[in-house]
DNA sequence: GATTATTTATACATTGTGATACAAAGCACA
DNA sequence: TGTGCTTTGTATCACAATGTATAAATAATC
């Protein structure tokens, strides 16, 4: 090589594009499948076929974090999975709190997909006096006024918002106030959060509303 | 192209970027709020503040479809909302079918957010003999072998996948086979669909897995 | 051990998307 | 009617993201 690049793995000094970060979990998912299928090695082409992404795209994404592959061979499945999990912070578990224990909140806390991936819902909150005090899916529903306290006590890093739209922004504000930096929002609004807080929306209606464009 | 481009609203001759289409429902949502707050006029700046999008971005997005604003004034809220709904195909209702009536499917059919936006779930399917024949949320659960028939009879245009991951691809294939062109997928996989079929995934775990990168 | 097959990592080119800047158009009000 | 203020629509620019091409490294085969 003309350039003597001593690329430092995993502790990049310049910001990795958001789109890249969002693709990494897809890679992890496929690697996990490959791994449990007993495969030892995977090429960027095989990964790309599964995900409908060009091999070069995948190689470039990975190159932001280091050099993981072997030329002529591909990537060691177990090693790459481990590395990507570490990069994403998936080599540990995360505690979450749900606010809003109506229909949607109940569905979320009983969704069996979180725990196997290391996301554990440790606390549930609501404003309604009818719901506070109840036990739902093994969680004692507390008044939202106890949020900050619980966040500290239970080391909660993730907030999940399942309240109706007209209370969503204030709940989000309360989460931010309580020191939560990652929020998953199920309410159909465009929330405002300060710098340093990441928020992602889950909104099936929005998805449907953009799909109809193509079939109208 | 040599012809003088007399910009025809709403029936554009060149493809509108996907990202633009995905922002339009956000505009519709804010316009609806403004409208019910009694506002008559909105500027691209006001819209932008709500959505954290630059005003110029919004004006450019809208310009793909025509000229809707008045210089020095802004956009007529009701008119712009009507236009965008028409562009997106939201000036009518859409029938959907859910496949997979386990925990997730039940939550989806009882989610009250679809109907007000014109998305009506008209049919429910499952493979399990224990579930087929039951009535859930007013829907008679049918065997998936009847999918194609129902799609035609009930004019179903949207398929919603809520089966476990190991059956998801075959269900998606069956939907495509039945002539469905828009699919909302809740199963955690990267599905394969032919050209001409739009599929969107709802995957909270994926969202969480990319958020942890920023707090790890 | 030499030769051929692969496949990565990356330089380079192309495309896509978002931001900036401003002329033209409309409004308000004297 | 004229003047100043606002806001759109769009031309232009800047940069982010993706795709193409290839040298270097490894493995497999004879």
- For the beta sheet containing B156-161, the strands, ordered from the edge strand earlier in sequence to the opposite edge, are B135-136, B139-143, B119-126, B94-99, B156-161, B182-185, B198-201
Instruction: Give the pLDDT confidence score for residue B8 in this predicted structure.
Output: 37
Give B45-74 pLDDT, tens digit per residue: 999 999 999 999 999 999 999 999 999 999
| Contact between residue A89 and residue B213 where contact means Cβ atoms under 8 Å apart | yes
Give the Cα separation of B32 and B78 in Å (integer).
Answer: 8
Burial bucket for residue B161 (CB in 10 Å: 0-12, 13-18, 19+): buried
Q: Does residue B54 approach strand C to less than 7 Å at its CB?
A: yes
Instruction: Give the pLDDT confidence score for residue B126 in this predicted structure.
Output: 97
Give the Cα separation of B196 and A50 in Å (integer).
Answer: 19
Q: Does residue B71 approach strand D to less than 7 Å at its CB?
A: yes
Regarding predicted confidence, which is higher, B181 or B11?
B181
Q: Which residues of B touch A52 (CB under 8 A)?
A: 190, 192
SS (HEC) of chain B:
CCCCCCCCCCCCCCCCCHHHHHHHHHHHHHHHHHHHCCCCEECHHHHHHHHCCCHHHHHHHHHCCCCCEECCCEEEHHHHHHHHHHHHCCCCCEEEEEECCCHHHHHHHCCCCCHHHCEEEEEEEECCCCCCCCEECCEEEEEHHHHHHHHHHHCEEEEEECCCHHHHHHHHHHHHHCCCCEEEECCCCCCCCCCCCEEEECCHHHHHHHHHHHCC
Instruction: Give the pLDDT confidence score for residue A9 in this predicted structure.
Output: 38
CA-to-C1' span, A44 to C14 (A): 22
Q: Which residues of A touch B190 (CB under 8 A)?
A: 26, 29-30, 50-52
Q: Can you list the residues of chain A whose pLDDT is less than 70?
A: 1-13
Instruction: Give the pLDDT confidence score for residue A196 in this predicted structure.
Output: 94
CA-to-C1' span, B81 to D6 (A): 22
Give B91-130 pLDDT, tens digit per residue: 999 999 999 999 999 999 999 999 999 999 999 999 999 9
Give A35-70 pLDDT, tens digit per residue: 999 999 999 999 999 999 999 999 999 999 999 999
B211/A192 touch (CB, cutoff 8 Å), yes or no: no
Instruction: Give the number of beta-carbon pairs within 8 Å between A and B.
Output: 160
Residues 78-137 of chain B whose Cβ lies under 8 A from any Cβ of chain A: 87-90, 94, 103-104, 107-108, 110-114, 117, 119
pLDDT band, residue B87 (cuts 50/70/90): very high
Query: Which tokens is B169 given?
Result: 């691809």
Instruction: Give the pLDDT confidence score for residue A124 in this predicted structure.
Output: 98
Instruction: Give the pLDDT confidence score for residue A106 in this predicted structure.
Output: 97
| Percent share of chain B, pLDDT over 70 | 94
Total-model pTM: 0.93
Query: Which tokens is A68 given?
Result: 């993981």
Instruction: Give the pLDDT confidence score for residue A13 in this predicted structure.
Output: 62
**Bases of chain D with protein Cβ within 7 A:** 5-11, 16-21, 23-27
**Distance separating the N- and C-terminal Cα atoms of chain B:** 52
pLDDT band, residue B13 (cuts 50/70/90): low
pLDDT band, residue B215 (cuts 50/70/90): very high
Round the average pLDDT of chain B to a whole number and report it: 93
| Percent share of chain B, pLDDT over 90 | 93
Burial B181-207 (b: 16+ CB within 10 A, else e): bbbbbbbbbbbebeeebbbbbbbbbbb
Using the Cβ of A209 and the Cβ atoms of chain B, whether some distance falls under 8 Å is answered with yes
Instruction: Give the pLDDT confidence score for residue B11 in this predicted structure.
Output: 44
Q: Is the per-residue pLDDT at B1 higher than 50? A: no
CA-to-C1' span, A44 to D19 (A): 15
Q: Which residues of B touch A210 (CB under 8 A)?
A: 21-22, 24-25, 88, 200
Distance from CA of B53 to the nearest CA of A (A): 11
Give A86-99 pLDDT, tens digit per residue: 999 999 999 999 99
**Bases of chain C with protein Cβ within 7 A:** 5-11, 16-21, 23-27
Give the Cα separation of B134 and B118 in Å (integer).
Answer: 26
Q: Does residue B28 approach strand D to less than 7 Å at its CB?
A: no
């Amino acid at each position: 090589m003309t350039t003597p690049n001593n690329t430092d793995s995993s502790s990049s000094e310049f910001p990795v594009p958001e789109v890249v970060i969002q693709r990494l979990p897809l890679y992890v998912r496929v690697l996990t499948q490959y791994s449990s299928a007993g495969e030892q090695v995977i090429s960027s082409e095989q990964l790309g076929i599964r995900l409908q992404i060009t091999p070069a795209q995948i190689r470039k994404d990975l190159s932001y974090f280091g050099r993981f592959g072997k030329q002529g061979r591909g990537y060691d499945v177990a090693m790459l999975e481990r590395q990507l999990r570490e990069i994403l912070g998936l080599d540990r578990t995360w505690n979450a709190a749900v606010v809003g224990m109506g229909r949607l909140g109940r569905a979320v806390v009983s969704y069996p997909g979180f725990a196997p991936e290391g996301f554990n819902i440790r606390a549930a909150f609501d404003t309604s006096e009818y719901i506070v005090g109840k036990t739902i899916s093994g969680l004692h529903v507390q008044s939202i006024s106890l949020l900050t306290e619980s966040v500290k006590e239970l080391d909660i890093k993730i907030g999940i918002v399942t309240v109706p739209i007209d209370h969503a922004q204030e709940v989000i504000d309360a989460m931010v106030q309580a020191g939560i930096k990652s929020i998953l929002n199920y309410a159909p609004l465009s929330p405002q959060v300060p710098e340093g807080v990441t928020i992602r929306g889950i909104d099936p209606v929005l998805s449907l509303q953009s799909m109809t464009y193509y079939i109208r």
